[in-house]
């Protein structure tokens, strides 16, 4: 599960950024240790119940993460597959997902 921890005095967005860093570490560990498949749980349907501003910030974080990481995934022969219902994600994020999967696909 990828989640930012809520810490007293910390804004949630910082926790979500920390979650993105955790993903990078997990992917690197898997790639360096011969792990063929890695499943990360990044967005629960319960997240839609969060304040709209926070959901929007999460969508932007996903876009940022894809833009930042997909070329590195491709260079290291890591295939990205997003599973689950992405139809409620904004169109910008859906497009990034499609392009990222296409770039890293077989």
Residue ranges covered by each domain of the chain:
12-104
- List, for residues 70-85, the tens digit of each pLDDT value: 998 888 888 999 999 9
- Is residue 13's pLDDT more than 50? yes
pTM of the model: 0.76
Helices (H), 1-106: 12-32, 52-75, 91-104
CATH number of 12-104: 3.40.1180.10
Nearest to 23 by CA among 43, 9, 3, 7: 3
- List, for residues 22-62, the tens digit of each pLDDT value: 888 888 898 889 888 888 888 889 999 999 998 998 899 89
44: left (phi over 0), alpha (psi -120 to 50) or beta: beta
- Is residue 10's pLDDT more than 50? no
Nearest to 72 by CA among 34, 33, 31: 31
Question: Given this model, what pLDDT does residue 37 score?
Answer: 87
């Amino acid at each position: 599960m990828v989640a930012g921890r809520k810490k007293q005095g910390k804004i949630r967005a910082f926790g979500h950024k920390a979650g993105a860093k955790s993903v990078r570490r997990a992917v690197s560990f898997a790639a360096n240790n011969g792990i063929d498949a890695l499943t990360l749980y990044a967005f629960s349907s319960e997240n839609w119940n969060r304040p709209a501003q926070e959901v929007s910030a999460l969508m932007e974080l996903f876009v940022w993460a894809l833009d930042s990481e997909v070329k590195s995934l491709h260079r290291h022969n890591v295939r990205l597959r997003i599973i689950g219902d992405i139809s409620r994600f904004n169109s910008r994020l859906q497009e990034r997902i499609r392009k990222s999967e296409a770039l890293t696909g077989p």
